[in-house]
Chains A and B, each alone.
Chain A
Amino acid sequence: MGQEARILKVLQRVSKKDIVPAADESLFASGLLDSFALTDFVAGLEEEFGVSIPDSDLSARKFDTLRKVDSYISAKSA
């Protein structure tokens, strides 16, 4: 499974929705995430990709579209 698919899997698990958002679609405006689901999404990303997301990166803007999350995980995994 590719990285994008794994991110989507985490997103759909925490949102409990099967929606597939466009790469640049806001995950908040689309109703997939709210403030509290975002905490689960970030924790799920850490678990799925075996990365540690530091407090300094805990900004909602870094995680509000699939493309941003994909870029972030790529940078963390490099």
Chain B
Amino acid sequence: MLSVVGLGKRHSGALRPLFSELRLAVGSGEVVALVGESGVGKSTLLNCIAGLEQADSGEIRIGPDALDMHRLDETARAALRAARIGFVFQAFHVLPTLTVAQNIAVPLLLNRAPPAEHGERVESLLRRVGLAGFGPRWPALLSGGELQRVAIARALVHRPALILADEPTGNLDPRTADEVLALLLERVREQQAGALIVTHSRHVAECCDRILTLTPDGLECAHPAGPSQGGRSHHPEPHGGEPTSPPALGRGLGGRVVQ
């Protein structure tokens, strides 16, 4: 679903590149955590993958027919994002002036999906994220957890190949965070999308299939040991992480295996 090869980025005026020759891949139905210290370039990497920042070198291919995001112009990148990527943010970013149903329908509108399908797809996703009947409500009346569920529904409604999530549980209390994360992983796997989740939370990382740690020297790959094991094994991979094949099933939340 995502293949990054030889990616390099240097901020203008910086002495050394933020990262170079990065290599990583996310497979279908695979959920990958991206961790690392603050300032190491996680958000920049995510922005480069989403085409929001221009990388200096390398290739970024998303989806089955593998267009290189890096080579596209701004408009084509926007179109590719609309078609292939779903986003979930720490701050939810739900449009306050649109209803819940309208918020979820935005990617369908951007992809020019037939209007007749909108209602049904939105309703079905609302049910799946546990917000049945919330369609006509205004975002201002929703709790943080509910807002993040709306954001998850919006990220999935157009069946993207890749979900990019930036600290998706960062603004939630632990219980709600667990629920929202379980929902996100469940739906990603159900739709056989790939997901890259930037997080500082060890707990969130350990719920993923693989953990990529971004360091000034490159990416290190690890497979989570699961909450019960309380640790993880390290496999230094300076050139990034390839998907395990077949994708490792995510370790359960609270012992639950999500498939």
| Mutual binders A and B | no
Give A residues with C-beta under 8 Å from B. Answer: none
